Structure 1
Amino acid sequence: MRFAVAPSGFKESLDAPAVAAAIAAGIRRVEPGAVIDEIPLVDGGEGSAKALAVARGGRIIPVTVTGPVGRPVTSHFAMLDEHTAALDMAAAAGLRLVPRAHRDPGLTTTYGVGELIRHALDQGARRILVGCGDSGTCDGGAGALEALGARILDVDAQPVGQGGYALGQAAKLDVSSLDSRLTDTEIIAAVNPYNLLTSVAQVFGPQKGASAEQVRILAGAMDRWAGVLAGHCGLDLRPLPGSGASGGLGAGLAGALNAKLIPRFDVLLDHTDLDNRLAKADLVITAEGAIDYQTPRGKIPAEVATRAKRHGKPVIALAGTIGDGAHHAYATGIDAYAGILSAPVRLAEAIDHAAELLRDATERTLRLVLVGAAMK
C-alpha cells in the first residue's frame, strides 16, 4: 500500500517534517511494508525559509533581531542564490516568540522582520521572498517599515509608538529615509489570499491573545492605517487579497515597498512536485494543528485535498483539535478527519507529547480504514 503523507506543522509544537515522521511511524505500526512518501509542507510560516533552502541548495544565515515584544531573538533567513533571499516573518515576529503573559497583538511589533530584510540586503539580495504566517503581531507591517527607515507620524508630525494600537494615531507615512537599496529590490510576500486587512483583527486577534475590546481597538487602528497607506500609494489596500496576512504585514509591504502579494502555495509548493506524488498514492494523509471553519480558507489540508481529488485519491486529515465549522472541510476534498487526542489533556501536555499522540492517532485511524476495507 502506498501512502502520501503531506502535513503542515503544528504551531508551537512540531514542524512539518516532525509531523510527517510521526504519521509515518504510526502507519508502519499497522502496515510495516507500506511505501510512504513523506511530503512535509510549509505555508509561509515557521520553517518555510529552511525548506526552500534545502530544496534550492541555499544556505541559512543566523542573525539576531528585535523580537515581537522588543527583546533580541535568535533568527535566520536563507540565501537561495547570489541575489535571492527567503525569510519567515515568524522567525522574527511569530506567535511562538511571544511569551503567553505578553500576548497582546496591539503591542507586539514586526520590527525584526524589517531587520531580516535589511540583513538580506546586506548579503546582496535583490529579490526577497517574505513568508507570511504564524505571526504574533497585528501592526500592519509598520514595525518592519520603521526598521527599514520609514516613519509613521501623527497629526503633529511626531512618530507614533510601536504596535497596532499606536496606528490609531497614524496620519502620514514618511519614506524619505527608507533604505535606498529597496528601490531596485523585488519584494514578494507569500500570503494567504483569504486574509484581508478589513477583517484581520477580528479573525486572528483573539488567537493572538486579544480581548473583545482590544479587537475593537485594533480593527479601528487597521482601518486608519489603511487610510494612511492609501494616501501614500493611491490604493485602498483593504480588499486586496493577502493584505491582512500576518497581522496586516501584507498591506504594509504592498503599500510602502510595492511588494507583490502572491498566493503562498503558488510560491512555496513548486519545488515539492506535490501533484505527481499525490497521484501515486493509494491513500493521502494530511494534518494541521486544527481543522475548523478556516480550513477551507487557504490552509494546507484543504490545498492537499483539492489536489488529491484531481487524481481521485481518498484523503484523511489529522488534527490537534477539531473546531467549530470543521464539517466545511469536506467540501475541499477531505473524506474524513480525526482529532489526535484520545482523552482530555492540558494544552502544555498535548504540545509536549504531540509526536506520540500523532503516532497513536494514525494507528487508530488506519486500523479503522482497514476494517472498513475488509467489510466491502
Structure 2
Amino acid sequence: MREFLLIPWLRALHSLKDISERLRLNNMNILIAPDSFKGTLTAQQVCDIIGQAFAETINNAKIVKSPAADGGEGLCACMHEILGGELKNAVVSGVFGEKISAEYLMLSDKTAVIEMAACAGLPLAGKNKNPEKSTTFGVGELINDAVSNGAEKILLGLGGSATNDCGFGMAAALGWKFLDENCNAFVPVGGTLTKVAKIVKPEKTFDIPVTVACDVENPLYGKNGAAYIFAQQKGADTAMVERLDSGLRHAAEIIKNDLSIEAAGIKGAGAAGGMGAGAVAFLNAELKKGIDILLDAADFDKKAADADLIITGEGRLDFQSVNGKVISGVAKRAARLNKKVITICGSRGNGAEEIKKLCISEVYFACEIEKSFEEVKRTCKEDLYNIALKAAKSGVV
C-alpha cells in the first residue's frame, strides 16, 4: 500500500527532473570552434551553418562562434575576425612564379599576419601540382611588403602549401643568395635543392621577431619527413618523393655547413615542404602550435569555461587530426575544463579512428559517400546543415 501511494510522488519527481533537463537544454551555452573545410567553406561559414541548425533545434540557445585555424589557410581571416586590423594586398609571385595578388593582415600592434598559402597554397597550383617546380618566393615578397608597410613583428602561418623547397625561395626574395658549383646564383625549387653548393647571407639580415604558426612536428627529411608524408598530396609520385627527400637532406647539410644551424632536428622542420626549417634558418623564427596561437588570441579558454557544449570540426577527419590540428587543440583544452565536445566533419579519411585518442563524445560526417570535388562544392552547405541538424536532435547535448 505504501509503495502504491509513493507512485504519484515518483512520477511527479520524474516529471520535475524531465522539465529541469528540458529547461537546461533550452538555455544551453554552445561554443562552435571549427576549422575551415578546405576548398569549400571558410571557418566562419561552418560556424554559421552549424549555429543555424542548433539555434533552430534548441530554444533560447546562446551560441558563441569562434572560427579557428591551425596556421594554414584561414589564419588571416580568423585573426581578423578576432582582433580586427587592416587587410592589405600585394602583387607577388605565385606557386610557379606567375604574378598574383595576395592578402595579408596588419594588426594594430604592427604585427603582420601572413599565410604561406596566400601565394604558395596547394589550391593555387590547380591541376598542375608539382612540388619539384613550385616556389615560396612569393612568401618572401609578402614579408618584404609587410616590412615596408611598417610591420614590427611577423606571424607566419604554415600549412596548405604546394611547395617542397625548404623555404629557399622565400629566402631568395629576402636577399639570400644560393650558388651552384660554378658560383652562379639561382633561385632553388624542390627539384634543384641538390644543386645548391653555397649559401650567402644578405648584407642586411632580417632582424624583426618572427613567430611561425605550425601544426605538425615532422622532421625535415626521412620516412616521417616533409617529402614522404606530404609530397604525394602535392602531386609527387614515389620516385619524385625520393628525389625531394634527397633534396631536403642536402638542404639540411648546406644549412649546417654554411649557417651552423642543425635544421633537420627541429620539431616542425618538415612543415610546409620544409618551410619550418627554412623559417628558423633564414628568419631566426620561433615555431609554435598554430592552433594554440589562435585559441589564445580568441580567448578560447574563457569562452569554453561558460559553455555547456563545444562543437569543433574540419573538412576531412584523418590521422593528422589528432596531432596539432584544430580538432585536437580544441578537444585538449576542453578536456582540461571537463567540457563535452562533439565533432562535425566533412568527410572521413585514412586513420579517422585515431580520434578515439581524444576526449570527444560524438563524431558526425556530412558526407559518408564518395563524391567528386565539384559535387562536394555544390552540396557542402546543405550536407553540413543536415548533419548539424541531426546532431542537434540526437540528444548529444
Name segments (4+ residues, structure 1) moved above 6 Å: none
Amino acid at match of 2:64: D
Note closer, same or farther for the CA distance 1:279–1:210 as it changes in structure 2 (3 Å cut).
same
1:179-221 Cα deviation digits (max 9, x unpaired)? x2x4432222111241321201111111212111111111111
Which of 206, 210, 215 is equivalent to 1:192? 215
Q: How does 1:249-328 map to 2 (within 5 A)?
A: 249-328=275-354
Is residue 95 of structure 2 the alignment partner of residue 68 of structure 1? yes
1:281-304 Cα deviation digits (max 9, x unpaired)? 222111111111111110100111
User: Is the CA contact 2:178–2:188 (under 8 Å) kept in the aligned structure 1?
Assistant: no
2:157 and 2:81 map into 1 onto residues whose CA distance is: 16
Which segment is superposed worse, 19-28 or 108-117? 19-28
Secondary structure of the structure 1 residue equivalent to 2:344:
strand
Q: Which has the larger radius of gyration?
A: 2
Instruction: For structure 2, list consecutive stretches of 5 or more residues without a partner in the other structure.
Output: 1-27
User: Is the CA contact 1:126–1:184 (under 8 Å) kept in the aligned structure 2?
Assistant: no
1:30-72 Cα deviation digits (max 9, x unpaired)? 2253221111012212231233234333211111111112211
Q: How does 1:173-212 map to 2 (within 5 A)?
A: 173-177=199-203, 180=204, 182-198=205-221, 199-212=225-238
User: Is the CA contact 1:230–1:255 (under 8 Å) kept in the aligned structure 2?
Assistant: no
Instruction: For structure 1, list consecutive stretches of 5 or more residues without a partner in the other structure.
Output: none
User: Is the CA contact 2:161–2:273 (under 8 Å) kept in the aligned structure 1?
Assistant: yes
Secondary structure of the structure 2 residue equivalent to 1:61:
strand
Is residue 51 of structure 2 the alignment partner of residue 28 of structure 1? no
Aligned to 1:349: 375
Q: How does 1:19-58 map to 2 (within 5 A)?
A: 19-58=46-85
Which of 95, 114, 137 is equivalent to 2:140? 114
The Cα of 1:340 is off from its aligned counterpart by: 0.8
User: Is the CA contact 1:229–1:256 (under 8 Å) kept in the aligned structure 2?
Assistant: no
Aligned to 2:11: none
1:235 and 1:251 map into 2 onto residues whose CA distance is: 9
Note closer, same or farther for the CA distance 1:149–1:161 as it changes in structure 2 (3 Å cut).
closer
User: Is the CA contact 2:179–2:185 (under 8 Å) kept in the aligned structure 1?
Assistant: yes
Secondary structure of the structure 2 residue equivalent to 1:316:
strand
Aligned to 1:153: 179
2:282 and 2:324 map into 1 onto residues whose CA distance is: 25
1:121 and 1:358 map into 2 onto residues whose CA distance is: 40
Which of 332, 338, 354 is equivalent to 2:358? 332
Aligned to 2:263: 237
Secondary structure of the structure 1 residue equivalent to 2:360:
coil
2:349 and 2:163 map into 1 onto residues whose CA distance is: 23
Is residue 31 of structure 2 the alignment partner of residue 4 of structure 1? yes
Amino acid at match of 2:79: L
2:324 and 2:85 map into 1 onto residues whose CA distance is: 27
Amino acid at match of 1:194: E
Is residue 99 of structure 2 the alignment partner of residue 78 of structure 1? no
Note closer, same or farther for the CA distance 1:122–1:361 as it changes in structure 2 (3 Å cut).
same
The Cα of 1:241 is off from its aligned counterpart by: 1.3
1:34 and 1:57 map into 2 onto residues whose CA distance is: 27
Q: Normalised by the size of structure 2, how large is the TM-score?
A: 0.87
Amino acid at match of 1:86: V
User: Is the CA contact 1:191–1:245 (under 8 Å) kept in the aligned structure 2?
Assistant: yes
Note closer, same or farther for the CA distance 1:161–1:298 as it changes in structure 2 (3 Å cut).
same
Amino acid at match of 2:380: A
Amino acid at match of 2:120: A
Which segment is superposed worse, 74-83 or 301-310? 74-83
Is residue 36 of structure 2 the alignment partner of residue 13 of structure 1? no
The Cα of 1:82 is off from its aligned counterpart by: 5.6
Secondary structure of the structure 1 residue equivalent to 2:273:
helix
Which segment is superposed worse, 229-238 or 155-164? 155-164
The Cα of 1:161 is off from its aligned counterpart by: 4.9
Amino acid at match of 2:173: A
Identity %: 33
Aligned to 1:361: 387
Aligned to 2:3: none
User: Is the CA contact 1:290–1:319 (under 8 Å) kept in the aligned structure 2?
Assistant: yes
Amino acid at match of 2:63: I
1:295 and 1:361 map into 2 onto residues whose CA distance is: 20
**Number of aligned residues:** 367
Amino acid at match of 1:20: C
Q: Normalised by the size of structure 1, how large is the TM-score?
A: 0.92
Aligned to 2:21: none
1:56 and 1:278 map into 2 onto residues whose CA distance is: 18
Which of 271, 274, 277 is equivalent to 1:248? 274
2:166 and 2:116 map into 1 onto residues whose CA distance is: 13
Which segment is superposed worse, 346-355 or 152-161? 152-161
1:348 and 1:129 map into 2 onto residues whose CA distance is: 33
User: Is the CA contact 2:111–2:153 (under 8 Å) kept in the aligned structure 1?
Assistant: yes
